[in-house]
Structure formats: structure tokens, C-alpha cells
Structure 1
Amino acid sequence: MRFSAESNAIGTLLLERGVLTVKQLQEAEQLADSWNISLVQALFSRSWVTPKELYQQLAIYYDLQLVDLDTNKPNWELMRRFDPSAMNQFSTIPIQEVDGVFTVATSRPGPGVLLHIREVYGVSTRIVIAQHLKISAAIQAAFREIHSHEAVYSLAELDPDMSAQQVVTPPQIFVIYLLLSALLLGLALAPIATIILLNVFLTIFYTGNFLFKAILVWVGGSAQEMSSRAIAAEAQTLRTEDLPFYTVLVPMFREPEVLPILTQALRNLDYPLAKLDIKIVLEEGDHQTIQAAEGLDLEGVFEIVRVPASHPQTKPKACNFALRYARGDYLVIFDAEDKPEPDQLRKVIAAFNQSPANTACIQCRLNYYNSRENWLTRMFTLDYSLWFDLMLPGLERLGVPIPLGGTSNHFRMDVLRELNAWDPFNVTEDADLGIRLTQKGYRVGVIDSTTYEEANVSIPNWIRQRSRWIKGYMQTFLVHTRRPFHLWRSIGSAGIFGFIFFVGGTVLSGLLNPIFWTIFLLWLVFDYTGIEGYFPPSVLYLSLINLLAGNGLLIYLTMVAPFRRRWTDLAPWGVTVVGYWVLMTVAAYKALWQLISNPFYWEKTQHGLSKYTAGELAVAKSHQSAASGDSGMGSNA
């Protein structure tokens, strides 16, 4: 056994006092040995003993008083005299000071923690034991206002050029004013020439957009074959005892019904549960979800983080607040209904090991477990298959900044904190962070591991979600074009080209498509010859190529996207993608209006609407019930 004599003694005490059975103790000792952790940490990954019972026995073993922080409230003013990050790291807080002698509560009274207490609080410090989750809750309460302010304003105050708090800067307003003035002046003095020039510009833009996406798919289709095999091979050989501690953030708002799916998916990970620092991040006013999370009787590695109410009420602000209490070397975000593949975290560690030293983030792929429920879920699946399976690997191969997806992004914790994490004023915070990472000299990788989610089954719900994404792309484009020369120096010519077409093109095509579709229909139905004056033959032919060949190419790419996953039955549905584009246009104009009227509003997407989600929920609950009555090793052992 590699665990200490101290763990042996604690195990004997728990056995003698009837807290654990012989079988449970043997399994806990095997887990501690296999995972290279203490016996107590191993016990927190199981539900055999309540935290209160376990801490009572630890207090007996260490001959220390057990303090209930709910009834013995810590002195918040006293706590604020010390570093909250150190308190979080060592799970230690000062709760009282009498005549210069501190009383310090800790949940981990081992040698390293005791040395830290003596160095910070003095040799005469009185030490007591308290539950870890209550120590964390006390830190959150004492530093509530400070951490809430940092979660909202840290990026805006420390790196304002990278913050979307100011939607449009005065120089941008001036440039927009000049462009609009030039357009209006041209229409007044030379209307035909101005419209022709505008058509030439837009036609070239559309041509470039189509070609760029085709290149991405061509490059991305073969970009990862070798690296995927190498990553998978190393992931299988990683020693469990060497795996780092991992923080998992699960931001939620008013969706208690899907929480069991994610908690069971995390238990199913091929990763030591005791090495996961899982934060269920909830708004403090979301009492229904808080009660649902508390009612799940989760293992000790799960913690509820209550985010103070403040404006803006966004997912990135909640994640920023929870980041202050994260303890892992790496961090990943999962949504409440996510089901990551079991080996995802191991693959990410292997990918970081094989990647350049400046790699700060690994993006995993996203797709849907209810892909065949209706037309919308099929189109959403085709969209994501094209985006994550082909286009993002192409961006990585070409060295173009990658706008991250909203979940399954795995970060190095040190870089995330260095960059002040997410922008709470940007409603597609991960897309923005992906661009910001590249500008700061870091790299984003993409690997072949999938997280499955619930695809929207409702068109109004889908439009709410997609309009938020497009609004965030608008914010991201505005933020990162504030300093065009800095952007060019930091990401290069290829990066600029890709950023314009991938981020700007996504927004502009949604806004302009209905205009060009209307012009084409008028010309086709009414044989309108007046259009020829505004479209010289060369421009007209190129526009027709864009409309027919370009859109035909996108339809073809949509149809071939599911072949990588061998979902060939979805391919024929690609011919109906035009209807999906119409919905995207509706979402784009809604996004533009909200950017003007309510830029920081986070439009909530309702989850749990799929009929498949009920099945996923039933499976998760059955597994949880079976695990609570079973003392055998789980899959994450």
C-alpha cells in the first residue's frame, strides 16, 4: 500500500466504530492505493458515510474539537484579513481571535496543512475541525461582495480592450459613421455606380466565405486521423495515480430536471472521482434547482456554489465566481444535460502532453443524443457535425483562431486565471475566449472526443438560443476589431482572414441572405431586366455562381458531414438545410435588435423538452439508486 500509516489508522478506527464494513474499507483502501490519494479522499467519492459522520471520526482520531459552522458562525471581518485563495487551497479558515490567538478550522488536518496554519496564523493557534463544504460556504459568504465584483468587472478593469462591457467604442462609432455617410453620399450622387460597387464587394465576400468553408472541410477532414490515434493510445496508458486534479464547472439556471443526467455522466467518467472537484454553479435565487441538487445526496466531491445576484446575469459571470473556489490543475465546463464520453478527460490530458507548451485549451466535439427526434434536431445535428467534426479541426490545422463552443472546453487553470477568465458581458463567452487566447499567444487544440447534449426540439426555443449565439459573435467581432493592427500582429494574416470569414461571415450571411434571395426570386419570377443595370454581366454571373454553386456546395457539405460518424441516414436531410438557413436569418435579425436594445441579456434556453431526455433521466436515476446500495467499485475506479 502506498497510502500512509495515518490512513491505515483512520481506516481501523472507522472499522472498529462500525462506520464502515470490512468490504467497504477494503475497497476504499484499494481506491486510495490505485488513485494515489488518502483514504479520506477516497471515501468522499463514495456515499457509504455521511460527511458529518466522517468528520466526527476524524475529530476523534486527531483529538480535535468538531465545529459546526452553521451554528458557530465564523467572523467574516477576521476572515477578510487573510488570502481567500490560500484558504480555499488548504480548506482552512480563521473563525475567532482572542488575545491574539487564532482559532482556525480546517477539513484536512494533515502535516502540510498544519504547517501552513502555523506559518500564517502563528504557533499558538488553536485548531478545530469543520466540514469542507461548510468551510467553502463560509469563504463564499465572507468574500461574497469582493468575488462577485471580480466576477463581473475583473476583465473590464484589468484588460478593458478585451471586454464587451462597452459595446461600441468611440473610434468604431466614427468608422461606422464614415462608412454610412460614404454610402448615403454615393447613393445620392452616383446611385448606380455605388450599388454596383457594393454588389462587387458583397459578391467577393460571399465567394471567399464559400471557398474558405470548403477549404476548412477539406483540411479538417483529414487533419486529426494520426493525432487522434496517438492521443487515444496515450490516454489508455496514463497511470491513474498520476492523473491531475480536475475542476468541473456545471453552470445551471432553472433546470433541476436534467441535473441527474450530468451527475451520473460524471460518475461514469474513466477518471478517479476523488480527483474531480465538481462545482454545481447556481444562482442564489434559483431555490428550486438548489433544492434539487441538495436532494440528490451527492458524493463529497460535489459542491454547490451559490452565485450572488448581480448584473449581468450570465453564464460567464457565474463561472467567473465559481473559479475563485476551483482547486484543480485543469478545468472543464459541462452543461447540465451533457454526457461526455467516458475517456474524455484522459484524452485531454494526453492531448496536453502531446501539444506545444503554449496550448491553453482543448476543445472537444459536441453532438446530440436525440438527433433523430424531428426535423429540427436532425438539422441541428448536421450543423454541429459540420462545425465540430470538420470545420474546427480545419481551423486548428490552418492556425486560425478557434471560437470555442459553449461546453466541453478544457483549460489549463493557470492560463485561465492569467487571462481573467470569461467576459461576463459577452453572451458567447467561450467563442470570445478562444479568440482572446490566440491574441495572447496561446493555442487552442481540437480532439476527437464527443460530449452529447439535448438538441432543441422547439423552433422558438432554438431561435432564442441561436440569436444569443449570433449576438455574441457580433460582440466578439466588435471587441477584437477595436485594434485592427494589434489583431493582425497577434494572429497573423491567415488568422485575420479566418476571423473575418468565420466570425464576421457567420453574422453577415445571416443578415444579407434574405436580401439576395429576394432579388433572385424577383429576377427569376418576373424576368426583371432592370436588375442588369446594377449587376454588370461579370458580377451577375459571379453572383449566380455564388447563389447556385456556393449554396449547392454548402448543401453538399451538410450532407457529407454525418458520414464521419457513419450517420448516413441523416445525409438526405441535408437538402432541406435552406429552411434551417431561413431560421438562422430570423435569429440573426433578432440578435441585431438585441445588440442595440439589450446587449447583455442572456436569453435562457429551456432544456428537458426532448422525449429522449426523460429516458436519459430514468437511466441516470436507476444507476444512482443501484450505486447507493452497492459497495462494489464503480466504472471510474
Structure 2
Amino acid sequence: MSEPRLQMREAAAAPHHLGQISLGRHLLETDLIAPWQLFYALDKQKQWDAPLGDILLSNGWITPEDWRDALARHLTAQSVNLRIQPPDPRLTNILPPDLCLKYNIVPWMSVGGLLILVTGRPEHLETQRPNLPLEVRRALIAVSTETDVETCLATLHRRALTRQAETRTDPIYSCRNWNITQSTHAAKVWGLIGASLITCAIFANSVLVLLTLWALFSLFAVATMKTLATVAHKRAPLAQTQSAPRAPLPRISIMVPLYKETEIAHALIARLAKLSYPKALLDVLLVLEEKDDLTRATISRTALPRWLRVVEVPAGSGLTTKPRALNYALDFCKGNIVGIWDAEDAPAPAQLEHVAKHFASADPDVACLQGVLDYYNPWTNWLSRCFTIEYSTWFRVVLPGLARMGFPIPLGGTTLFLRRDVIEAVGGWDAHNVTEDADLGIRLARFGYRTELLTTVTQEEANCRPLAWVRQRSRWLKGYMTTYLVHMRSPLRLWSEIGPRQFLGVQLIFVATLSQFILAPLIWMFWGTLLGGGASYHRLAATTCHETRRCGAVVYRLDQRNDRSKGDLGSKSHRSVWLDIDDANLFHAGHACRLQSSVRASLSSVLLGQNCTRKNHRSHRDHLIRNQIPV
């Protein structure tokens, strides 16, 4: 590169529209595109937030290499093939990796103390020069392809990008510092478990009563919350996307995490190809793990469209979670709106149009849009039908109602769209939380942002195998518990950040939900007594009382024989001990029977009617009298 050529690049840039026409004329003169293709691209630029090159490249009218060379000639800059001419490794740390990826630049070389930056988006870099560090604002520009720049940055900053993906979230809002294997933490956990077991053993009846009351309270709390959410939704149902003032459509990046997928690639591409959003504004990233050879081999056999690309997440500390992959791929996104789909998702063809219009008309504090999730295989078996009913009520009624009530929204893991600047400001996803979606919903509320619901639907595959369902629900419960403990680490701070209403919402959504699952066996026990297990319970109580009475009598006789020489005082004292033991056991057994009978009677009165309830009471009383149990 000659010195005069370097100086020419510092001349003032032409106005944007004149530069595009001049570049288009150059493309026509070199026979790289046809006139109608240029007219089409220039017309779409008025409607889309897309440069000329993206429109031409997305339609396949020009190759990335031809566009690179044409752009370099237009800007009188050097065209660089980074695969043949890699950057000077001594310049790697001049700029942070996230800034390099954001502006698609890489420090290439230094000539006579003058820095040269290679970029695939020179027009974007010129407008962002004031945001660059002072020492590189007057750097010269060389041109390469965007893909080559990103590949080069991923190689140069592999370690830094991997570490950032695992630690992007602030430690205050993350669970990554929780290490249960540490001796101090392990001692606390095992001590708490031991104390709980001892308490249950000593105060078994009291613990049973308290757990029963808490189970009933949690059921009542969740039922009340869902009822109020339903009423709120019925009063103000989800509105259709409002028409916003006409503005250029934004570019939207969609991340699709894949892991050990061998058959989904062809179907996924076919479903995404049905999207009606302009392909020049569509940026789909297939996010793979570096060691996932199965998915990589599957994709290598598939022809990918130009608007779809692959991002490989390097292996770091051994953590391979979905939020870690999302954190890594976030820096490679090009759009101002970032969305998430799963591999088996089938979004509505016009879904992204709804997203763009809703964000254009929404308030600035609306940082996230959650779409409706549904299943395309509800008739596979009974379990898939239950899933369909659950998702229909949750996404179409409960979540919209909670949003109307001003509660924080635990997000779903897919059909999720965020403003990019907001997700970067709140720290991305917690790479160590298995329910990163619910955690992000609460964190957005803590930063003062809101989530709104969309009516657009994404269909996915329902989990219809029992073992897979158990593993999935166990993972969700673990993540819910982790999310709750993270945000309740400092309750007063949480209260001050989100206010009393949202604080109450967090307690209802997380505590009540977890309580229902943890206490489910206790609730099932009462249902078992209703369905015929009550007689066995009565026999067990009666047998316990009878054995206690018999053992007490034996102890009394033995003590009476051994201590007959001690006189009446000793006998009376032993008799009093025997009576205390017998009365105590009779009291506890009778109390347990009365508790079980009252619960069964209350359930029976609801399900079987008042007559059946009276019959159960009479039979239960007769049973107690026959077995000499105090009523």
C-alpha cells in the first residue's frame, strides 16, 4: 500500500445517497449487477434499515468477494483477504473484543506509526468514529468481508470471549459463585438438613400439621393469583400490534442454540425459509458447541442460505449451557433486536413483522416481547395433551394477566425478543442458571424494564415421554429455586428496586409454585384417603394404639413383679408412668385420626356431596368407638 493511497482515504466522505449512487454506477460499469437489481436495492433502502450491500448479498446477486473488491475501489482503500494476510498479533489488545465485533473491525497493521483497521462495514464505521477510543479515531481503513473479520476476531480473542460468555452477568445477579463443594458451604447445608430431619423426628405431628396448612395455603395463593390474572386478562385482553409511524424496518438477529441435533437441520431451515420478513434484514445464527461433532456434521451436509450463519462456541471451563452459548453469540449479532428460537420451533411466517411494529410503537421501558408458545403434536398421547392445555392457559391467559397486574414476567425460553442495548446493559444471561429465561425476566424488572406479550404464536414439539418429562420438570424446578434464591439474596434491596407489588408477585410465582411441587406427595396422600386409603390409615392408627397399650401393660406387670417389695408407693409411681405413656399415645393417635378425617371429609363434601360426607363421619365415629379410641 503506497503512502499517497493512505492519504487519499482521509478525504471527506461524500453524502450517503450520493455515495450509494456512485457505488451502484461502479457496479453497473463492471457488470457485477443488472440495472433492475440496483433500482430494486435503492428502492428497498427507503423502507429497510439495510445498506446496499446487504440487499444485494441477501438475494445472491453478488458474491462477498466481489462486493469487497468493489467497495475497496470505491473508497480507494486496500482490499484484504484476512485468510491470506492475517493481522499483526501485536495489535490484538488495542481494542476490546466486544467493540471490535460490534463495529466489525480488527486492527490489521501499523505503517509508520499509523494504524490500519480492516472492516467489512466501512460505511458503518465512518458514522461511529466518534465512539471509538481517541488513539484509533484517525486510523486508516482497509476492506474485507464481514465473515472473514468475525472469524479472525473469534480466533484472536478466543479466551477473552469465552471468559466473558461465562461471567457476563454481574455477580450480584448470578449464581456462579455458589460452590456447594466448599467445606464451609457443605457444612451449612448438611447442618440444615440434619436439623430439619431431627425436628421432623421429634415433632412429627406438628410438622405434618404445618406442612398440610402450608400446602393448602400455597394452593389457595396460586389459585387466587391465576384467578385475578384471568380477570385482568378478560378486562383488557392482548391487543393486536398497533400500527406505528412509518419507519424503516429494523434488522433482527435470531439465535438458535443447537446441541447434538442430527435430524432437525433440514426441517429447521425449511421452517425458517417460510418467514416473510425481508431476508436482507434477517440475521439467523445457529449456535453450536465446539465439541458438538454430531450437529456440526449434520449442518456441513446442509446448504445454508445467505441469511443464516453458524457460530461455534469455544470450550472454556467445561460449562456447556444454553445461556453461555447465548452470551457468546450475542456479540456476533448484527441486529438491534435480538430474538431466540429453539431448534424444533415453527414460528408464524409474519412473526417478525409483529415484533418490529410492536417495538416501534412501544414505550422505551418495554425491553422484551414474549410470544405465545403452542404445540404442533397435541394428539400424540395423554401427556402431550396435558402440555398443550398447560401452555395454552399459561401463555394466553395467565402471563398476559400478570403483566396487566404489574407483576414481573418469568420469560419462556423461546419466542423471546429483546432490545439489544438493554440485554447488554443488564448483563446478558446468567451462564450458570438452567432457567436463564425466568432469571432474565426478574432481572429486567429490577432494572426498571417491562415485558409485554405478543399474540403471535410459535409451535414446538411437546414432550410426550414420561422420563424426559420428569427430567425437564426437575431441571425447571432446580432453576426456579436457584433464581428465587439469587434474587432473594438481599430481600430489602429487591424490595427497593421493584416495589411492593412486584415483590409480592415474585413470592407468589416462585414460592407458591415450588411449594406445590415439593409438597405434592403430601397432597396425594390426602387424595389417596379419599379414594379408599382411609381404612388402612385407621387400621394403622388403631394397631399403634393397641400395641402401645399392650406394651404398657407388660411393662407395668414386669415392674410390679420386680418392685413388689418396694410398697404401694413404688407401684403407684410405675402405674402413673404407664398411664402417661398410654394416654399420650392415645391422644396423638386420636388427633391424627381426627385430622385425617377432617381433611377427607372436606374433600368429600366438595366432590361427593353432603350425604356422602355425613356417612363418612358416622362410619368413622363407629370405627373409633369399636377400637376404643377417644372421640
After TM superposition, the score normalised by the length of structure 1 is: 0.75
- Name the CA shift for 1:9/1:353 in 2 (closer, same or farther; >3 Å): closer
Counterpart CA distance in 2 for 1:488 and 1:119 is 39
Aligned-pair CA distance for 1:185: 3.6
Name whichever of 90-99 and 342-351 sits farther off. 342-351
**Which AA in structure 2 matches 1:466?**
R
CA distance in 2, matches of 1:317, 1:34: 35
Q: What is the correspondence of 1:59-458 to structure 2 with a 5 Å cutoff?
A: 59-110=72-123, 113=126, 116=129, 127-155=141-169, 158-166=170-178, 181=195, 184-185=198-199, 187-188=201-202, 190-225=203-238, 228-229=239-240, 231=241, 233-234=242-243, 239=246, 241-255=247-261, 257-293=263-299, 296-310=302-316, 311-458=318-465
Kept in 2, the 8 Å contact 1:167–1:475? The answer is: no
How far apart, in 2, do the equivalents of 1:35 and 1:334 lie?
A: 23
Q: Distance in 2 between matches of 1:208 and 1:89?
A: 46
In the alignment, the residues of structure 2 paired with residue 547 and residue 439 of structure 1 have an alpha-carbon distance, to the nearest angstrom, of 45
Residues 175 and 307 of structure 1, relative CA distance in 2, 3 Å threshold: closer
* Partner SS, residue 470 of structure 2: helix
User: Quick one: distance in 1 between partners of 2:410 and 2:176?
Assistant: 16
Q: Do the aligned partners of 2:49 and 2:250 also contact (CA within 8 Å) in 1? A: no
Q: Aligned with 1:285: secondary structure?
A: coil
Q: C-alpha offsets along residues 245-301 of structure 1, whole Å, 9 cap, x if unaligned? A: 322222211225323444454444443332333322211222443454455444544
Deviation digits for residues 28-75 of structure 1, max 9, x if unmatched?
Answer: 333334325332121132223332233233334444432221222223
8 Å contact kept, 2:105–2:120: yes
Tell me whether 472-481 or 62-71 shows the greater mean CA deviation: 62-71
Structure 1 gaps, min length 5: 551-637
Q: Is the 8 A contact 1:59 1:129 kept in 2?
A: yes
State the identity as a percent.
31
* Structure 1 residues 415 and 32, CA gap change in structure 2 (3 angstroms): closer
Q: 1 CA distance for matches of 2:452 and 2:206?
A: 46
SS in 1 for 2:332: coil
Secondary structure of residue in 2 paired with 1:289: helix
Q: Give the drift of 1:519.
A: 4.4
Residue type of the alignment partner of 2:148: K
CA, structure 1 residues 294+81, in 2 after alignment: closer, same or farther (shift >3 Å)?
farther
The aligned amino acid for 1:488 is W
**Partner SS state of residue 59, structure 1:** helix
- Deviation track 1:318-364 (CA, whole Å, cap 9, x = no partner) reads 11111223333221111122222233333334434554433221211
Quote the Cα distance in structure 2 between the aligned partners of 1:492 and 1:367: 32
Moved more, 470-479 or 70-79: 70-79
Distance of 2:105 and 2:339 partners within structure 1: 25
CA–CA separation in structure 2 for the residues paired with 1:102 and 1:80 = 13
SS of the residue corresponding to residue 47 of structure 2 reads helix
**Residue 175 of structure 1: how far off its partner (Å):** 9.4
Between Structure 1 and Structure 2, how many residues are aligned?
538
Task: Determine which structure has greater relative contact order: mean sequence separation of CA pairs < 8 Å that are 6+ residues apart, divided by chain length.
Answer: 1
CA distance in 1 between partners of 2:139 and 2:206 (Å): 83
Q: Tell me which moved more, 47-56 or 411-420.
A: 47-56
Distance between the aligned counterparts of 2:57 and 2:600, measured in 1?
A: 63
Q: Tell me the distance in 2 between the aligned counterparts of 1:353 and 1:33.
A: 17
SS at match of 1:242: coil
Tell me, in whole angstroms, the C-alpha distance in 1 between the residues paired with 2:357 and 2:49: 19
Partner of 2:533: 525
Helix, strand or coil at the partner of 2:167: helix
Q: Kindly state the Cα deviation for residue 386 of structure 1 after the two structures are TM-superposed.
A: 1.5
**Which moves more between the two structures, 335-344 or 491-500?**
491-500
Q: Does the 8 A contact of 1:3 with 1:37 survive in 2?
A: no
Question: Counterparts of 1:8 and 1:119 in 2: how far apart (Å)?
Answer: 31
CA spacing shift, 1:161–1:48, aligned 2, 3 Å: closer
How far apart are the structure 1 equivalents of 2:469 and 2:18? 57
Cα gap change, 1:289 to 1:540, in 2 (>3 Å): same
Give the aligned partner of residue 475 of structure 2.
Answer: 468
Question: 1:363 touches 1:444 (CA, 8 Å); kept in 2?
Answer: yes
Residue in 1 aligned with 2:629?
A: none
- The root-mean-square deviation of aligned C-alpha atoms, in Å, is 3.4
SS in 2 for 1:448: strand
C-alpha displacement at 1:504, in angstroms?
A: 2.7
C-alpha distance in 2, partners of 1:487/1:176?
28
Distance in 2, matches of 1:410 and 1:171, equals 37
8 Å Cα contact 1:282-1:305 kept in structure 2? yes
Q: Distance in 2 between matches of 1:444 and 1:545?
A: 41
SS at match of 1:253: coil
Deviation at 1:367, TM superposition (A): 1.0
Q: Report the residue type matching 1:416 in the other structure.
A: I
The 3-state SS of whatever aligns with 2:519 is: helix
TM-score by length of 2: 0.76
Contact 1:78 1:95 in 2 (8 A): yes
Residue 51 of structure 1: aligned partner: 64
Deviation at 1:432, TM superposition (A): 0.9
**What is the distance in 2 between the residues matched to 1:348 and 1:45?**
21
CA distance in 2: counterparts of 1:263 and 1:161, whole angstroms? 36
Q: How does 1:2-81 map to 2 (within 5 A)?
A: 4-35=17-48, 37-81=50-94
CA distance in 1, matches of 2:464, 2:506: 31
